[in-house]
Structure 1
Amino acid sequence: MEKLIMDNYIISLLAKPFVVLTGNSGTGKTRLALKLAEYLESKNYRVNTWLPLAINKRGRILNRDEEEIRELCLDSNVFVAKINESQFEVQIEMNIQVKCNDEAFWDLLDDVSTDIQLGAAVRLSKEKRHVLIPVGADWTDSRNLLGFVNPFGPDGRTVYEITPLVELILKALHPDNRYLPHFLILDEMNLSHVERYFSTFLSAMEANRSTSEARGIPIIDTNHVSVIVDTLRNISHVDPKVLESAEMLLSNNDYISLPPNIFIIGTVNVDETTYMFSPKVLDRAHIIELETIHPSKYFSGSYGQSNNLHDGDVVLNHFRTSIEYRELEQQGVDPILYLQSKWGDQSSFNEAKKQMESLLSGVYNILKIANFDFGYRIFKETIEYLYFSIIYNKSSASWFDYMDNVLLQKVLPKLHGNRRQLGDVLELLIKFLNKETFEDSFVNITVKEETMGYPARIETDIVRNKLDLPKSIAKLHKMKATLNSVGYTSFIS
């Protein structure tokens, strides 16, 4: 898996906990989703703080006093030493001595002094925090995901049909797991109408960002929680965290909501057996299209051999930042202020902000011609994607590359239609993104549909784009070619 693909996938999840992976069969969509989830589950600790220091050949700390080491150790139950890219679990004795049972650690130490990073970490439970659910072709409501009350259970008891997703949500709601990411992977997501079986989640994802309820809106009502608890108590080998979470909800007379540490990934194929997504779904997700690889890459061993991931604790801390951000959303956050706080140079930020506005305004004005204009959500989530890309890369230097990504993943997926609807619009978008100017700085387009018997004309000011956007331009050319050959095109095809 190429690093750029993995990095974009992670940033997209950090910015928006709903990502749809599309592409031809065999492009590695499910593999990508599973790889990240399983990698993060393999970490048995998460480092909260790194402290640079030097030690001698025997592990004695040379350049820090006991008080500094003691403060680092206050909230930790495991310690990690990092030398270059290698990490080792270590012990701290008397706040002055590093001990390690791994001989490889000692082999990396110089005779006099070695610079290391000492990490204060928290031990993580070894547990599965993802579920892979194949979507059925007959799903018409949310019961296959959220279960239901069954009044005809064993021995005539009323039970709750508990699904793997209900267990995952209860595990995610456990206080010990509050800042750990949990992944729902919906395989072949569009085998059924997404708007039917997934409507509860579409509503919850958006309502949770604006409701005054601290925990978001319910996805399973309070009166069903007692049935869930009774059912779990009669299941052998139930996960203790799942039962504890359900019992805490019951004691608080609370409902089950969609927690901010649930991240949803859908994989999509488009053929005669599947359904197209509605604008409502596309508008609420990042749409990432994966390309097939050339056979030469596979046979040369240049694809899919390396891990292509940051240190697990670094990625986990990024997800914690994402979860904390969504917890604050209900209190009202201004994404632009968050972005500005991470940018660094103020004059550079002001210029970038001006170029973002020109780009989005130009695209908006062109798309409005065919009624594909977009709303506040796109503006906000564009800024959030850039915000998390800067956190992830620790730099704003390549922000325009990520602007290309977010345009490709959040705006262009809205496009679909025939030559009559999209012919002029695709031409204008390609011209605009290619930094070309429009005659007299105005766009005068005759829209094919007639209004009151006369062709409708749209006149709007377009400021010239200054950004390089090669991915978005390449996709538009591909869509244009499809439109010319078959008379219809869409982003997901």
Structure 2
Amino acid sequence: MEKIVKIVWSQDAFFKTEPKRSGETSINLSNEIFDFLGGVENGYITFKIYKEDYIKALGALVLLLPLYKSSSKEATKVNFDSKLFEYYYAIIQNKFANNEFANYTIHLFKRDDGRIYLNELKENGTDFNIRMFFIQAHSIITFIKQNGVYEIRFKNSIEELSKNQDIEEEEPVQSNDFSEPYRPYITAIKSKPFLLLAGISGTGKSRIVRELARACWDGDDAEYLSQKPRNFEMIQVKPNWHDSSELIGYVSRVSGTPMFVAGDFLKFIARAWEEPDVPYFLCLDEMNLAPVEQYFAEYLSVIESRKADADGNITTDPILKKSAEYWFRNLTNELTVSDVVRNRFLNEGISIPQNLIVVGMVNMDETTFSFSRKVLDRAMTIEMNEVDLHGGLSCKNEQIGKLGKDELVGTAVEGVDIYESNKDVCDKALDYLQKVNDRLEGTPFKIAYRTRNEVLLYVVNNLPYKKENETQDFVVARALDEITNMKILSRIEGDETKVSTEFLNALESAVKSGLEEVCGSLFAGDAPYNAISLAKLGEMKKRLASGYTSFWN
């Protein structure tokens, strides 16, 4: 007998432990389970299922109520009701009658974008649907293969499964087979929801943000198929922006009655608040056509006020403070649909929701402004200068894999939030960081606590993406290499009085030896790791020959 276990997390659960809107009607599968079930990309599979599993699952469901039942439009609280019990019991009886087991045939489907589902779960002629018994973080599915017959054994645990040490859990993030090129974007966003994408024009910077937003929807959802999913907004920065009036808005008194004219950014913030379980992406195109410190000052300030509460929710100071004036109440009425969101705005002002991700597109040329360290210190920077002329010709949409809140929205803000549970990994990262920072001593490029926190978060957020043929030390070293490029090298610029060849050589040596201390085999063997931070330092040394160097091309 062979078996494989799947834990039901939020996206697969019919009942959720907190109010979340979700239009999911299928069961997402990992590649491992797909292969276990025969790897047929588009076919039907018949399982043997057992009546006792569903009777016991119903009993656990009743004990765990109240829970939340979700659709794409709303989440409804479900309390205990004898009619609910009778309805579920009748469905079980109709399916099994007096038999101990029954056959259950459902569709196994692998999309072109790599997502794998069990769908068509509702059985013809009955109301039976295996998913209707699933409870977030309480349901366990065991797929069994025995004598050529597939079975599904199923149970609902009274305890949350994350606390059950006897279960070999399938990590939800690993159930998505993300293409490697997208991992740095996903983990950088989870570490800090403010990203700068730098590169030459035409490399697909804005496209990748749109596709990340699209990947938050099921492949057959209207939002996935649309030109612009509702969780994506593109704003073109104008050269004459010198304050936040175009983005956030301003109070107009032209009519005699003060009225707030809301900017597109503020409207998008309100939309993100209305749908907290869906990551929302704001794309600022050509972000540095105007001075970022001026038109984006409020955001740069409040993004540093992020704090994680005891429930893992991240809050910020308001980007628009509450006001007792009529214009503010009128504004909240215009921006909101939900009474809960409206009341929050009225009581606390309008702050940044934790599901809002801001991505700035950066082109560095003679028509643009350079970034100050104030901006660079607050953002994660990724270069996009590589061009694959053969890419993007076989599929219109990027094959990223299914994304959601768990993959993109972090629940930690500072190093202290994750240090104790990842002490060994964090200590390795800190030793590396200290080695590099020693080389930055006496320069304006020395890093402090903000960067330390983001380094630790980025390293820890990369741990779930370890592949079978990779060691944890390699994953940590790779993350440190990437975050060195994002957070340390991006701040270095100047002429030979600030940035000498000797300084860059010493920094290069510290980075290389530091990475080797984390993973001794990193640069060994027939296929040594190609460190992007070392490659960038090589570029910067060549550029210094002209008398000035910078991270930015």
* TM-score, normalised with respect to structure 2: 0.59
One-letter amino acid of the structure 2 residue matched with residue 339 of structure 1 = N
**Displacement, 1:95?**
9.3
2:116 is the alignment partner of 1:86? yes
Aligned match of 2:24: 45
- Distance change (3 Å), C-alpha of 1:57 and 1:370: closer
2:470 is the alignment partner of 1:482? no
Asked if the contact 2:336–2:342 (Cα under 8 Å) also holds between the matched residues in 1, the reply is no
> Which of 239, 242, 259 in structure 2 is aligned with 1:137?
239
Percentage identity across aligned positions?
24
Equivalent residues in 2 for 1:315-464, closer than 5 Å: 315-320=404-409, 322=410, 324-326=411-413, 333-340=416-423, 349=424, 352-393=425-466, 396=472, 398-423=475-500, 424-435=502-513
One-letter amino acid of the structure 1 residue matched with residue 550 of structure 2 = S
**d(CA) in 2 for partners of 1:231 and 1:371?**
43
Mean Cα deviation higher: 410-419 or 71-80: 71-80
2:313 is the alignment partner of 1:240? no
**Displacement, 1:334?**
3.2
One-letter amino acid of the structure 1 residue matched with residue 117 of structure 2 = Q
Aligned match of 1:269: 363
Equivalent residues in 2 for 1:129-208, closer than 5 Å: 129-153=231-255, 156-174=256-274, 177-208=275-306
**Displacement, 1:143?**
1.1
Which runs of no fewer than 5 residues in structure 2 stay unpaired? 1-21, 38-43, 73-105, 133-144, 157-171, 173-216, 224-228, 524-529
Aligned match of 1:473: 534
**Displacement, 1:179?**
2.8
**d(CA) in 2 for partners of 1:117 and 1:150?**
63
Asked if the contact 1:178–1:261 (Cα under 8 Å) also holds between the matched residues in 2, the reply is yes
Asked if the contact 1:191–1:273 (Cα under 8 Å) also holds between the matched residues in 2, the reply is yes
**d(CA) in 2 for partners of 1:231 and 1:434?**
54
Aligned match of 1:29: none
- Summarize deviations over 1:75-105 as a string: whole Å, max 9, x none: 44579976665324444578976599xxxxx
Asked if the contact 1:59–1:99 (Cα under 8 Å) also holds between the matched residues in 2, the reply is no
DSSP 3-state at the match of 1:219: strand
Asked if the contact 1:220–1:257 (Cα under 8 Å) also holds between the matched residues in 2, the reply is yes
- How many pairs are equivalent? 385
Asked if the contact 2:285–2:362 (Cα under 8 Å) also holds between the matched residues in 1, the reply is yes
Asked if the contact 1:225–1:249 (Cα under 8 Å) also holds between the matched residues in 2, the reply is no
One-letter amino acid of the structure 2 residue matched with residue 325 of structure 1 = A
- Summarize deviations over 1:121-168 as a string: whole Å, max 9, x none: 999996712211111101111111110111114xx4432111221121
**d(CA) in 2 for partners of 1:117 and 1:363?**
52
**d(CA) in 2 for partners of 1:81 and 1:116?**
14
**d(CA) in 1 for partners of 2:152 and 2:325?**
49
**Displacement, 1:371?**
3.0
Asked if the contact 1:61–1:98 (Cα under 8 Å) also holds between the matched residues in 2, the reply is no
Asked if the contact 2:322–2:328 (Cα under 8 Å) also holds between the matched residues in 1, the reply is no
Aligned match of 1:451: none
Aligned match of 1:65: 53
Structure 1 or 2: more helix by fraction: 1
Aligned match of 2:344: 249
* TM-score, normalised with respect to structure 1: 0.65
**Displacement, 1:415?**
0.5
- Summarize deviations over 1:384-412 as a string: whole Å, max 9, x none: 00111113448835221111111111111
Asked if the contact 2:47–2:149 (Cα under 8 Å) also holds between the matched residues in 1, the reply is no
